[in-house]
């Protein structure tokens, strides 16, 4: 499995995991001129923008560490673009990160960081 395939696989597993935790997934891989958001969901009345990071090892650090302040600013802009496009106003929002760690047997573990930034 190449890097892109691994990322898609991790996004699918994370979506299933979040759904079981009560999040209602409304968008997969939302794209606008600024970039892409992996998942957008509602958790109760809160609109949740989710970045998913899938890794096979910790050689380059924890997956969430790759969500730099520069990327965070980009995600804020993507969220604004989404809300403007959909006409969404006056709603609570948060940004979550889901780390997906793939085990050698093909199973995976999740670390859901709520309100990550």
Domain boundaries, the chain: 3-113
> Domain 3-113 class?
alpha beta
Q: pLDDT by residue (tens digit) across 75-117? A: 999 999 999 999 999 999 999 999 999 988 989 999 999 999 9
| Distance, CA of 109 to CA of 106 (rounded, Å) | 10
DSSP category for residue 6: H
At 13-57, the pLDDT tens digits run 999 999 999 999 999 999 999 999 999 999 999 999 999 999 988
Can you give the pTM of this predicted structure?
A: 0.93
Instruction: For the chain, give the mean pLDDT.
Output: 94
> Distance between CA 80 and CA 33 in Å, rounded?
12
């Amino acid at each position: 499995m190449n890097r892109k395939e691994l990322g898609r696989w991790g996004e699918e597993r994370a979506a299933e995991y979040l759904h079981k935790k009560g999040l209602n997934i409304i968008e997969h891989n939302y794209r606008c001129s600024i970039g892409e958001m992996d998942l957008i969901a509602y958790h109760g009345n809160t609109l949740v923008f989710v970045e998913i990071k899938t890794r096979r090892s910790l050689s380059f650090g924890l997956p969430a560490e790759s969500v730099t302040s520069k990327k965070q600013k980009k995600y804020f802009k993507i969220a604004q673009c989404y809300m403007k496009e959909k006409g969404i106003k006056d709603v609570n929002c948060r940004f979550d990160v889901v780390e997906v760690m793939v085990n050698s047997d093909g199973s995976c573990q999740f670390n859901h960081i709520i309100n990550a930034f």
